[in-house]
Amino acid sequence: MSEISNLQKARAAYQPKLPKALQGPVTAVEGAATQSVGNQKEIRELFPNTYGMPVVEFAEGKKAPGSQFNVGVILSGGQAPGGHNVISGLFDGIRSLNPDNKLYGFLMGPGGLVDHKYMEITPEIMDAYRNTGGFDIIGSGRTKLEEVDQFEKGIVILRELGIKALVIIGGDDSNTNACVLAEYYASKNYGVQVIGCPKTIDGDLKNDQIEASFGFDTACKTYSELIGNIERDCNSARKYWHFIKVMGRSASHIALECALQTQPNVCLISEEIEKKEQSLDDIVKYIADIVAARAAQGNNFGTVIIPEGLIEFIPAIKRLIAELNDILATDEAKTVTRENQIEYVKAHLSAANLAVFSSLPADVASQLALDRDPHGNVQVSLIETEKLLSRMVGKKLAEMKKDGKYTGKFSAQHHFFGYEGRCAAPSNFDADYCYSLGFNASRLINAGKTGYMSVIRNTTAPAAEWIAGGVPITMMMNLEKRSGKFKPVIRKALVELDGKPFKFFAQHRDDWAANTKYVYPGSIQYWGPSEVCDQTTKTLQLEQK
């Protein structure tokens, strides 16, 4: 058990806000039947029991006797600030229906369900984690729940503990698995409901129904504080270019939000690079030209934000990864030892992709050819793109110097902001949002729903006006190729290049590049004037404008 800080003590007393509709008894108002975002025929066939269900919205209802039931909860995947508040909202929600209702946490992610590792979350345990960051109350993990054998092992312990519903708190992959599990238990009439909650700092689990995944707000504010501090240092010493990689495995939402908050000299947006079919060399030239233009004004310093997933969006590298994924998914590839893996993929790549593979620095190439995470993703957090780019920019500037196109000095510093932001104490927004998501999940369970995601909308309004309800997870699905096969998955939300947040950035970036217009957002404020403490992300503000 770790020591308790003063902030944690003071923060424990914070009572998260709930939407008005959840403050008393509720009634579930159902909308029209839904369909999936893509591949409707295939998704309907794969999910005959959970396809087409209506969107649900909670309205104030009449008090009814609360039934006694137990609930299980799982934290899945990467940590995101606010996870403990989802659990405290769920805990308070089920106990407000009946004080005898129990909450069990499965330990270290979905694997805890399969291996029957769990603990009861008592009021004392719960109180120690209210409004804190991290997932350490029960731990998290990335075990992929997808095999019948795992579902069957799960039902044994769910029955033993008298669990009526399982809440899976996770990102797109984990909620996809929640949906598969809900469908399986429904098809078997096992009587266990499954509800998902939208988590990920990456911000890519969003759509017409989900305004933001939780944790994005706090993580972006934490990174923006650090980036702002670096900008101030940079503007004080005026001698370094800082290359800052920020997390976000695939989409560039975090990079974009941090750019909106801090106004760096350069921010790359992977989705734009893909759309413009830019090569690594195009990107390097873009940065080098900005460095040279600033140097011509006597400014040999600057800040560059790089999204973690960049490498996968450069079209030539994307094609290479797609072929590598197919090669690595074969049974033969699975028998190859780690030492021989690179030679093995080289021997199997097409000529075009082999040329791209061979052109990459050895560390990047080997990371692309090595093991995927359990969901089949390249482990981009291990690729040091910030160093790769600064090295290449340095080389490009040396060439430009020979041609007389650059006369400055270039000295680079490197940073990776990822793990620093995932367990920060949740902002007021995330504390309220997460508590509401968890509390709302208890109402979905009480309404007998399964295969639904807990959803809170209208989040730029004060919390009392938020809209609470549920969306069938099948509604967010389409088919995508994973580990060499087409599978039903929740569609990831990438940065929309015609969306207001990107457009705002695109309108201002040349000004931010040439002129030093840094913004220093400072640390997350939990107490004080509302315009300082209760602001949502700029992304949400621009989107909802």
Strands (E), 146-214: 163-170, 193-198
Task: Give the C-alpha distances (Å, rounded to integers) separating 537 from 174, 211, 258, 430.
Answer: 24, 11, 9, 11
Token pair, residue 328, equals 């690595």
- The Cα 472–Cα 34 span in angstroms is 8
Can you give the binding site for ligand FBP, defined by CB under 6 A? Answer: 77-78, 80, 171, 200-202, 247-249, 308, 380-381, 422
Whether 202 is catalytic is: yes
Of residues 184, 253, 332, the one with CA closest to residue 493: 253
Residue 36 three-state SS = coil
**Pairing relationship of beta strands 266-267 and 241-246 according to DSSP bridges:** unpaired
Torsion sign over Cα 433, 439, 444, 445: positive
- The Cα 194–Cα 483 span in angstroms is 25
Going by the DSSP 8-state scheme, the letter that residue 39 receives in this structure is: -
- The Cα 406–Cα 294 span in angstroms is 10
- Amino acid found at 406: Y
Token pair, residue 43, equals 């998704």
- Minimum CB distance to ligand FBP, residue 232 (Å): 26
Of residues 201, 84, 93, 90, the one with CA closest to residue 139: 84
Of residues 357, 432, 452, 335, the one with CA closest to residue 19: 432
**Pairing relationship of beta strands 102-106 and 193-198 according to DSSP bridges:** unpaired
**Pairing relationship of beta strands 26-30 and 56-60 according to DSSP bridges:** antiparallel
Length in residues, the chain: 545
Locus of tokens 């699975």? 334
Going by the DSSP 8-state scheme, the letter that residue 141 receives in this structure is: B
- Amino acid found at 87: I
Going by the DSSP 8-state scheme, the letter that residue 432 receives in this structure is: H
Q: How many CB atoms are closer than 10 A to CB 237?
A: 9
- Minimum CB distance to ligand FBP, residue 71 (Å): 22
Transcribe 249-284 into DSSP letters: SS--HHHHHHHHHH--SEE--HHHHHHTT--HHHHH
Task: Give the C-alpha distances (Å, rounded to integers) separating 78 from 81, 96, 135, 201, 426.
Answer: 10, 30, 9, 8, 15
Measured CA angle at 418 (ends 232, 540), to 5 deg: 80
Asked whether 55 and 471 are in contact (CB, 8 A), the reply is yes
Strand order across the beta sheet in which 302-307 lies: 266-267, 302-307, 241-246, 412-417
**Given the complex with ligand FBP, which of 213 and 446 has the nearer CB atom?**
213
**Given the complex with ligand FBP, which of 265 and 381 has the nearer CB atom?**
381
- The Cα 142–Cα 112 span in angstroms is 11
Catalytic residue among 172, 173, 202, 217: 202
Locus of tokens 């041609």? 403
Locus of tokens 């007389």? 404
Token pair, residue 106, equals 């499965």
- Minimum CB distance to ligand FBP, residue 314 (Å): 17
Which residues form the catalytic set?
A: 202
